[in-house]
Chains A and B, each alone.
Chain A
Amino acid sequence: MRFLQPIRKIIMAVIVKPVTRLWFGLNFLHPERMPDAGPAIIIANHNSHLDTLLLLSLFKTKLLHRLRPVAAADYFLKSGFSAWISLNLIGILPIRRDRKRGEKDPLNACYRALERGDILIIFPEGSRGAPEEMSSFKTGIARIARQFPKVPIIPIYIQNAGRALPKGKKVPVPLVFSAIVGQALYYGGDRAALMQQIKLSMETLREEAPPLHWQDTPNQRSDIKR
């Protein structure tokens, strides 16, 4: 995989960054809160395949080799071609979702990646939910954080990717994305407290995003600032 690094960089510079900035568009708020080096854990809401590309494009190219989007093995490793792309070009860290009793911890790969100094990209909702809605966050993130209390957890709220390319649709429609970076969070000894902090942080970030009052999403906001 090492020999593919230059190719990843070229793809990043020629495809991923121009596509997210020009074909789509990006309102990038608080870029100074992004990590300069690994290890770190990036968490974000998940509504679209574009989320991963968007998050990759937020980082400086020199950090590209550190970025590991954590993804479901059963989905992304289905066919040979998409598996090759996912593993080698996007650099995913495949996780098995169907853990059987007695098997070892499926998150072991995440622990090892953090020990190496990698930056994990995790969507704690598990899978892409209904467009533009946030579902509850799974607690796997707290299990990882407990092992690495010094590693910063950086929440990022993504808006509009779920509209541009929702689950089940093939043609991406150009829309301006928003990526709003939150303050780093740390594991303080309590799983429930961390999950609560994450939830609160994501809700605060959503308040900073453009107040899209879509006409068909249930979680639209009534308190539009004047």
Chain B
Amino acid sequence: MPSPTLLYALGFVYGLLIIASLISIILRTRKQGSSELGQRIRSWWIIIILMTIPLLLGRLAFLVVMSFISFVALKEFVSIIPSRMADRPVIAFTYLLIPLQAIFIGLEGYGIFLVFVPVFAFLALAYLMTTYGKIEHFLPSLGTYQLALITIVYNLGYVAYIMYLPEGCNEGRGNGAIVLFLLIATQLNDVAQYVWGKSLGRRKIMPTVSPNKTWEGFIGGLLTSAAFIFVVAPLMTPMRFPDTILLAFLLPLAGFIGDVTMSAIKRDVGVKDTSTLIPGHGGALDRLDSLTFTAPLFFHLLVFSSYGPYAQSCAPV
């Protein structure tokens, strides 16, 4: 049964979406709105409806959907990075780790979930790449696949794992509310940085990596998100003051870093978007870039502040 908190939060999201749609329609009737804005909002409707269903259905449904999202993002990543023809088995191996990680999550294997990809899969991947005896570009290729594994397979797994944290540590609001909080905070930060940058942006922050990013956008977005997190985190998650202060500043920072890192990758390979999957947005990975960095940060701050050892119980009061 979805908790009232989850339903209220969903109501808030749909409320925002309806307001955004109305603004877009009004702008269009006055012939000021761009068609891209309308397309973007239409895509948001689809994304949010697709995420609402598994949040209401429960943790297994959410795990399956999250694994599929990881699959789509990983596919976009390995489709744009420089790779070698001989690396097809390694690419297949990275895909196989998604269901394996999902099994670890589903069995609530906290320890193995944390250690498997960054230690064992990394080493196995390096060994596997030696087996077909292709030495040219071995090292850069290894690095790209390991980056794909850690940012997509491993980090997005954290989002799903939140659903498998011990029930009952969130004052009856359920783990779905925690996941939704992470998703809202991350996406709101993206939007806030974009809006502040568009309206006040002057001083470029990283001109060679991401020419549209400005100091004004970064700071405005950071303060907006920090205020949101500071107020809303205690309402949706077990995190309390003063831990929320740390979260309020680190989560927007992680979101910014994730966005910029993906920009650097895209700029290096020479693509604007990772695919054309989502009209008005680009690829799935273009939407998920900040989440790949905020998810592990949020997860560990949450567990550190509010759960017992190995996340097996609620924090002792």
Contact = CB atoms under 8 A, between A and B. Distances in A.
B69 to A, nearest CB: 12
A174 B80 CA distance: 13
B88 A212 contact: no
A7 to B, nearest CB: 28
Interface stretch (B108-116, B241-249, B270-278, B305-313): B270-278
B275 to A, nearest CB: 5
Given A212-B80, A225-B270, A174 B95 contact: yes
Contacts of B76: 25, 176
Q: Say whether chain A's binding surface is mostly helix, strand, loop, or mixed.
A: loop
A175 B92 contact: no
B75 A174 contact: yes
B141 A215 contact: yes
Secondary structure type dominating chain B contacts: helix
B276 A173 contact: no
A175 B98 CA distance: 15
B92 A171 contact: yes
Nearest to A162: B85
A215 B136 contact: yes
B75 A166 contact: no
A197 B85 CA distance: 31
B276 A160 contact: no
A224 B276 contact: no
Interface residues of A, number: 27
A210 interface: yes
Contact of A215 (B78, B137, B275): B137
B210 interface: no
Contacts of A171: 88, 92
B84 A216 contact: yes
Interface string B148-186: 000000000000000000000000000000000000000
Candidate in A29, A132, A210 with the most chain B CB atoms within 10 angstroms: A210
B86 interface: yes
A114 B84 CA distance: 41
Interface in A119-173: 131-132, 160, 163, 166, 169, 171, 173
Interface in A159-197: 160, 163, 166, 169, 171, 173-176
A62 interface: no
Interface of A: 24-25, 27-29, 131-132, 160, 163, 166, 169, 171, 173-176, 210-217, 224-226
7 contacts: A27-B276, A171-B88, A173-B92, A174-B75, A212-B269, A213-B269, A214-B82
